[in-house]
Structure 1
């Protein structure tokens, strides 16, 4: 069993010193919706948690306007993407029989938008059917005028981890057992939290911010990792760092170059024929985490491409990846 004593002390000490974060008096912001029909037979979530009690840190004078687009032409399979997120929030999926573990999910979208279904709701439905309480994170996008643009997604991820832990009684979860899984650019965010959970990138706003943001594990799936040209996903790099970033900025936002001495266990997954985000991204992170002596489970598949999630993995060997993650999660005491 890996050493979780540091996280356990910080979580329990914070909970002992803080009052539980209460739900804001006003209604929480609804889940992103394109306003059109949804896939028949699929339950749509209604419960959300706004991350920040007031405006999110570094708000621009004019907030972006949230917009959801439906990219699928098949009425049976939705593929929504949301832009202009001004109220970052968690969309909650509760299992019928909670197993005490919570999963924070960060969908991808190249830091241009955040996908709703493929790497958010579909993964959450699969996991809640197996007892996990899931929180899909709709994080702010760095190019929308926020101050400290490159840290904006991580501000939301840190805050999300702390808010979930502060609400542990509401969801019948163990506040220590909150892990994170992210996909593509959301995988970068997941790896960034796994590396920089202790980074001081926003001022505390309430008692929840006394809690640790260290995830129980990090599971970046076909992730963007490096910001180094030639390895980086160009679109994610440009939107996160802006035009002409310095070498120092590239290093500061490449999780493989910022792994701390106490990283959480990592579960890594990539297809070697990924033609969008090179597999080298995952290999760099694996080497960096192993160098710190942390537990790392790595799965490389010959075929799968990019962005397979659940729906595009069907019929290929890579379709077994969720059960591989679940089996690994049992070995670290998460499930």
Structure 2
């Protein structure tokens, strides 16, 4: 039963009857998504499975029936959905959706951005990562394990997807922005035991874009839900710093793009400001865009009509200058 269920999930999340806390996940309304290529990160099963494995569940939270807003929780089969352009430029992006480390918001900050990137010749990989509150052996490093493994598999599959393994960047949103910054600053940390040839490849992104990101675990500015699920309510200062990317910036941290509205009511803009200061202190190239308004969690669709509406073009210009687009 479990293997059948995993096969369906890995095939692109095109499910029409998965119960999700009282809600039912609807079939994907974009027919092209039903044919997405997918890569399972751990074909032999993800390492460190809890004694009581979580049950993967999908909730479609959209009030408007014209689009989806799926949140996936309890992920046990980490994977990437692959958006392939008709004319690939060789550039690629690993997309890390947010969700407060409670679930992974795969449409608004994943699949929609994947289509946008593919439409511009950039191959996009949307990561369905495991969550730190589900009891995995890696604890607060479990999502980082999946991000590292995804970067390595992307490079290992470069020929298959017509991409340049030296032009693989990452982009994360909210808690996914924390994961993106964590990957950019702690890519070299061994969070799992190597298992195949892909694990000999570098997990370092060639560039990193953090969009309204969670960065600091300092209670004064942390996103409380992300902090609680990642390091626990009673985490001490040492644990906070270990999982705050602004404290882990080094000279080999890749160039970064930061974007944050100053009226973000969920994740204070100080998160991006601290990250910028840390990058500048290490002479790591960083481009920062602050907006007076825009709120939180806008992705693509909720940015329309706001000052942040053109943020994807700002990122694209930055990426092009760095030959990442």
Fold-level match, TM-score > 0.5? yes
Partner of 1:143: 133
Question: Alpha-carbon deviation of 1:149?
Answer: 1.1
SS at match of 1:205: coil
Task: Work out which of the residue numbers 1, 9, 12 in structure 2 matches 1:31.
Answer: 12
Partner of 1:227: 217
Unaligned ranges ≥5, structure 1: 1-25
SS at match of 1:312: helix
Q: Count residues in correspondence.
A: 310
SS at match of 1:143: helix
Unaligned ranges ≥5, structure 2: 1-6, 17-25
Partner of 1:202: 192
- Tell me if structure 1 keeps the 8 A contact 2:145–2:192: yes
Deviations 1:130-151 (A, max 9, x none): 0000000000011111013100
Write out aligned runs for 1:153-168 (5 A).
153-168=143-158
- Tell me if structure 1 keeps the 8 A contact 2:184–2:208: yes
Moved over 6 A (4+): none
Deviations 1:191-222 (A, max 9, x none): 00010011111110101010111101010100
Deviations 1:19-49 (A, max 9, x none): xxxxxxx998223345224336764453210
Cα separation, partners in 2 of 1:28 and 1:175, compared to 1, 3 Å: farther
Partner of 2:19: none
Write out aligned runs for 1:98-247 (5 A).
98-247=88-237
Task: Work out which of the residue numbers 307, 310, 316 in structure 2 matches 1:320.
Answer: 310
Partner of 1:7: none
Partner of 1:75: 65
- Tell me if structure 2 keeps the 8 A contact 1:45–1:91: no
Does 2:84 align with 1:94? Answer: yes
* Greater mean deviation of Cα atoms: 92-101 or 40-49: 40-49
